[in-house]
Amino acid sequence: MQIGIIKERKNPPDKRVPFSPEVCKKIQEKYPVTFKVESSDIRCFTDDEYRNVGIDVVNDVSNCDILMGVKEVPLDFIIPNKPYLFFSHTIKKQAYNQKLLKKLVENGNQMIDYECLVNEKGERILGFGKHAGIVGAYNALLTYGLKNNLFVLKPAHLCINYADLIANIKELVLPPLKIVVTGKGRVGKGVWMLLHDAGLVEVKANEFIQSDSKSAQFTILEISDYYQKNNTFDLQDFYSNSASYSSTLAPYLAQSDIYISAHFWDGKAPELFNQNSIGNKLQVIADITCDIKGSVPTTLRASSINNPIYGVDKKTFSESDFKNANALAIMAVDNLPCELPADASHDFGLALMEFVVPELLKMKDSEVIKRASICKNGALTAKFMYLSDYLKS
């Protein structure tokens, strides 16, 4: 099998790749696979770094069996009838990618979406969530420092790697701030890793509410801590009837200087807070999930790597200067892993090597690949027929 690593052409540029040079080399040694890397002047690994480990760098990957990238492929660069793997951002009927899915269907492409690669239990096999959590937590501290004129952290995208992030934080003397986090999945684990390695103290949820912090501390909440129905919580019922639940996050926000949103939101659960429940102490919200009109009502728009912070007035929830005393500082960058592209790409590639490459080698018989294929041979697959109206809209 010959795998083509395509050049990322979406704007703003994304420096990530599905496979680092080191992982490409490991895969070629382990499996009957060869790589062709499309020459690129933007990715985090140079063409020469691939050549130095024996990977071919070319200008044309159209003869490869499978084409793999990270972000959406611009319409003019889609090669007909080829299987593609990338994040298509179409399964939630995102309006801005309707033309992309239509083009893939018309061109007879098999679209295998990373987001849809799941095991038999429906659990996602891979993703960049860990690094989104790492950078999101780092940016939360960066935002807090700027909001209060206490310190200035070097932006994450100017750091060399994860070790550089941690070294920057450990140079600071953090005040006894308190951070509450929602979400214990991949993103939440990345948040925990950064805060723990940065020296913050983790406390249990009940201790977080009751105690005054003498050092910088954080807590990561279970779903049952911030959603309940009649003072009870049942996970399966929540999955089925999340709209009938109410947020119980307010007591935690009242004790927090920073709130980090790292949870998954399916669109049915109610908002986590409003103007009356946000409390007076809270100053920073780092919304890593960045769902516009989602569970975090202060996320009015996505921010960017170069301009990661905007303000939202606490009383009106309208945009304002984040330095204002009555404003929340909102960090809502929607492509956080791009700030640590080399680390994120290397880990992503290792997961692909372990869980996905073996499935690609038995592509016609792989249930994993079938479950993740949105379209094939000029039509939507059965699992994704719900997108039919989206294609025609």
Report the CATH number that the domain containing residue 316 is assigned in CATH.
3.40.50.720
Count of domains for the chain: 2
- Regarding whether 253 and 351 lie in a shared domain, the answer is no
Question: Alpha-carbon distance 114 to 127, whole Å?
Answer: 7
- Regarding whether 292 and 192 lie in a shared domain, the answer is yes
Question: Alpha-carbon distance 201 to 12, whole Å?
Answer: 37
Sheet holding 373-376, edge to edge: 56-58, 34-38, 2-5, 66-68, 83-86, 110-113, 373-376, 379-380
- Regarding whether 222 and 175 lie in a shared domain, the answer is yes
Residue 263: name the closest of 180, 142, 165 by CA: 180
At residue 267, φ and ψ (nearest 5 deg) are 95, -10
Element (H, E) at 2: strand 2-5
Question: Alpha-carbon distance 21 to 31, whole Å?
Answer: 15
Question: Alpha-carbon distance 45 to 349, whole Å?
Answer: 13
- Regarding whether 152 and 249 lie in a shared domain, the answer is yes
Specify the pLDDT at position 214.
86
Question: Alpha-carbon distance 373 to 112, whole Å?
Answer: 4
- In order along its 393 residues, the chain shows pLDDT tens digits of 999 999 999 988 899 999 999 999 999 999 999 999 999 999 999 999 999 999 999 999 999 999 999 999 999 999 999 999 999 999 989 989 999 999 999 999 999 999 999 988 888 888 788 999 999 999 999 999 999 999 999 999 999 899 999 999 998 989 999 999 999 998 999 999 999 999 999 999 999 998 677 899 999 999 999 999 999 999 999 989 999 999 999 999 999 999 999 998 777 889 999 999 998 999 999 999 888 888 999 999 999 999 999 999 999 999 999 999 999 999 999 889 999 999 999 999 999 999 999 999 998 899 999 999 999 999 999 999 999 999 987
- Regarding whether 246 and 198 lie in a shared domain, the answer is yes
Non-local (6+) Cβ contacts of 379 within 8 A are: 105
- Regarding whether 142 and 103 lie in a shared domain, the answer is no
- Please report where in the chains the tokens 């060869």 appear, as a residue: 34
Specify the pLDDT at position 246.
95
- Regarding whether 182 and 55 lie in a shared domain, the answer is no
- Regarding whether 122 and 147 lie in a shared domain, the answer is no
Instruction: Say whether pTM exceeds 0.95.
Output: no
Could you write out the DSSP letters of every residue in 54-75?
A: T-EEES--TTSSEEE-SSPPPG
Cβ contact 253:179 at 8 Å: no
Non-local (6+) Cβ contacts of 84 within 8 A are: 66, 67, 68, 69, 73, 78, 104, 109, 110, 111, 112
Specify the DSSP class assigned to residue 129. H
Residue 372: name the closest of 104, 94, 132, 86 by CA: 86
Cis peptide before 270 (omega within 30 of 0): no
Non-local (6+) Cβ contacts of 235 within 8 A are: 223, 224
What the block records as the tokens of 226 is 């911030």
- Regarding whether 157 and 13 lie in a shared domain, the answer is no
- Regarding whether 155 and 116 lie in a shared domain, the answer is no
- Regarding whether 134 and 115 lie in a shared domain, the answer is no
Specify the pLDDT at position 293.
82
Query: Rounded to an integer, what is the distance from CA 284 to the centroid of its chain?
Result: 19
Angle at 155 between CA 256 and CA 21, to 5 degrees: 120
SS3 content of the chain, % helix, strand, coil (to 5): 35, 20, 45
Question: Alpha-carbon distance 208 to 140, whole Å?
Answer: 18
- Regarding whether 93 and 177 lie in a shared domain, the answer is no
State which amino acid sits at residue 55.
I
Residue-number span of the structural domain to which 159 is assigned: 129-339
